[in-house]
Amino acid sequence: HDLLWSSGGALELPKCFYQIVYWEFVDGRPYMKAEDSTLTMTVNTASGEEVLIQQLSPYSARKTLGHLTGPEESINQAYQELQNKTKSQDMFLKQSNLNPYEAWTYYFSIYLPSIGFTLPNSAFTEKELNAIDRAARRTIISKCGFNKNTKKEILEGPSELGGAGFRNLYTERKE
């Protein structure tokens, strides 16, 4: 914190936290376990005041920069949050009166950035991401003027080669 403060920055201390993770190895496989820790972490503010930083359980997830993070169960919470976000986008699209051009613009300027923002930091499988994208994808495809039963290979193919240019979330995750 002192180095950051001396360079002109400052931490937002109420947003700071830390997690201590203990690992137990059984037959060579690591298992995370929570232990009560008596360790504390303090940081000095610019005025010299000592501030205690909050310790979280390694099993708790925390939203940081719009991304749900945590070493253990956060993957399920993040999956559910992303699923809810796509359902919300799907409901908006179903109730909207967008023409194909507007739907295409919505897909690339709002849907993909909002859904894909945290994907590079996630560990979702291709199957999970396809399940997340499924409902909204069918609505978007239909709103863009394509048959919602069009083969995935055509929809995700590059437009230069006759495809529709839609994006696969798993591929978006890798970029």
pLDDT in tens, 22-50: 888 888 887 777 766 778 888 877 777 88
- In the block, residue with structure tokens 């945590």: 70
Positive or negative: CA dihedral 87, 136, 95, 113: positive
pLDDT in tens, 112-166: 998 888 888 777 888 989 998 888 899 999 999 999 889 989 999 998 998 889 9
Q: Where are the alpha helices (DSSP H) in the chain?
A: 2-6, 74-95, 100-106, 112-116, 126-143, 152-155, 169-174
Tokens of 37: 């820790």
How large is the average pLDDT for residues 106-117?
90
Q: Residue 92: which pLDDT band, with cuts at 50, 70 and 90?
A: very high
pLDDT in tens, 49-82: 888 888 887 777 777 766 666 665 556 777 888 8
Count how many residues are written for the chain.
175
